[in-house]
Amino acid sequence: MKPLFDLHTHTIASGHAYSTLKENIEAARGKGLKALGFSDHATAMPGTTHPFYFGNFKVIRDRISDLRILKGIEANIMDFEGAIDVDPHLASSLDYVIASLHPPCIDPGNRDENTRAIVRAMKNPFVKIIGHPDDDRYPLDYDELVRAANREKVALEINNSSFVRGASRQNARRNVPVMLELCRIYEVPVIMASDAHIYYDVGELTISETIIQEMNFPPELVLNYRMEGLDYVLNNNTYIITPEEMIPSSRS
């Protein structure tokens, strides 16, 4: 199966990425993606852009040529109570919010503190994806994490950049299989993402796909393998996961 979309990508607006939106779009089209989401860092990340950048997304078309364009943000989890640096007004105007733990924004806690931070962030109705929950700098209780993702209908990310040589995150190759096995048990969907910070990494999901295949992980739980999977992570939509298909249902 071929991944159809990549929702975790960055542009020069993030301050430490190196490509424009146009360059990322061209790269996505070149790799045959059907949809591209961009998710520049929210305001607590040093060097990132002003909130006006996200507030002006209305000027960007929802489709450019044959590519669907989705407008998101990577929020920073700011404390162990799950607060994020995106206010509800801005979040409600976006297609999706990724919430992640980043060292510039929150010092690592112990396993219970880190897990609580993510679990409580999931309760934010605009948070649709938990970014790179794979880093031993932020040890996690994966059973509690996956159970919470199931309750809150939030997708857990398999972040390709966590596996590349020189990655700052620690022990993702050990942690992700543990998380995937629990996702299989609790039928929690995952989303593969490049976390691209330069155009040629957009849509680069090769290592993530290899791990998923090695685990014999159910393809129906990998959102990227069908366009309907987008609806699980878009505002005001959720999906019931069945072994056969993902079937839309209204959010309660």
Residue 135 to residue 86: CA distance in whole angstroms: 23
Confidence of residue 242 (pLDDT cuts 50, 70, 90): very low
Structure-block tokens of residue 164: 């590349």
> Taking the domains of the chain in order of start, what are their residue ranges?
5-249
Share of the chain above pLDDT 70, in %: 94
CB 240 within 8 A of CB 17: no
pLDDT for residue 240 is more than 70: no
140-155 residue pLDDT tens: 999 999 999 999 999 9
DSSP assignment of 128-166, as one string? Answer: EEE-----TTS---HHHHHHHHHHHT-EEEEEGGGSSTT
Residue that wins the pLDDT comparison between 249 and 237: 237
94-115 residue pLDDT tens: 999 999 999 999 999 999 999 9
Extract the runs of DSSP E, i.e. beta strands, from the chain. 5-6, 35-38, 63-64, 67-76, 96-100, 127-130, 155-159, 190-193, 238-241, 246-249
Q: Phi/psi of residue 36, each to 5°?
A: -130, 130
CATH architecture of the domain with range 5-249: Alpha-Beta Barrel (3.20)
29-81 residue pLDDT tens: 999 999 999 999 999 999 999 999 999 999 999 999 999 999 999 999 999 99
Structure-block tokens of residue 53: 């950048």
Strands 35-38 and 67-76: parallel
Which of helix, strand or coil describes residue 76?
Answer: strand
Write down the pLDDT at residue 251. Answer: 32
Q: What pTM, to 2 d.p., does this model score?
A: 0.92
Residue 158 to residue 121: CA distance in whole angstroms: 18
Half-sphere exposure of 44 (CA within 13 A, CB side): 19
Across 52-66, 173-187, 228-242, least confident range: 228-242
Amino acid letter, 83: A
CB 94 within 8 A of CB 236: no
Task: Return the bridge partners of 246, or none.
Answer: 241
Mean pLDDT score of the chain: 93
Q: Phi/psi of residue 75, each to 5°?
A: -80, 150
Question: What is the average pLDDT across 14-27?
Answer: 98
